[in-house]
Amino acid sequence: MEVWIKLLEVFWFFLPAAIANLLPPLFGKIPYFKRPIDLGVKLRKAPLFGPSKTYKGFVVGILGAVLVVYLQVLFYPYMLDYTIIDYSTTNVWLLGFLFGFGALFGDLVASFFKRRIRIKSGSPWLFFDQLDWVFGGLAFVSIYIGLNVKLVLGTILVYGILHVLTRYVGYLIGITQAKI
């Protein structure tokens, strides 16, 4: 029973970063504000990040993370047994920004390296695609919240597995290009 509670704590803790990572592909079909972050700049004939990394994705992802942190603050009195963060003293804007920006920055860094080794945008890069955003989110949120090894490893495990599952569902319903 205690393992399930710990898994729920990890899930609840990192949910803002997960939403930040999930929203850009969902909003990718909307034609507005689709300007790539790299503005079409190339390095050695390959895009810096690729056309799927857009300003819209960054803005939507960060706003989504802020919204989730805001909801976590509202639900805090009912979730005391399942929270790692004391949401009563949390700066919603800062924590949401760090979760969202960190997750998306981690994904952006992986995209940069994918382009360097000539992996096409949307094509899978095992391990890195599943965890780039997790490492980025953890790195940035650690600026504001102290993280311990158990929390970091639990987050990598829970969200590494959830990412594979959600990516596959996204593939089945036509949101993402690759199965994994």
* Beta strand residue intervals within 13-161, DSSP E: 42-43, 46-47
Q: Is the model's pLDDT at 1 over the cut of 70?
A: no
Check residue 51 and give its pLDDT: 78
Phi-psi sector, 123: left (phi>0), alpha (psi -120 to 50), beta: beta
Cβ–Cβ under 8 Å, residues 131 and 156: yes
Q: Is the model's pLDDT at 93 over the cut of 80?
A: yes
The whole-chain average pLDDT of the chain stands at 86
Higher pLDDT, 50 or 74: 74
Among candidates 64, 57, 62, which has minimal Cα distance to 36?
Answer: 57
Q: Is the model's pLDDT at 169 over the cut of 90?
A: no
pLDDT digits (tens, 9 = 90+) for 2-60: 877 788 899 999 999 999 998 988 777 777 777 888 777 788 888 778 778 888 899 99
Q: How far is CA 71 from the centre of its chain?
A: 17
* Beta strand residue intervals within the chain, DSSP E: 42-43, 46-47
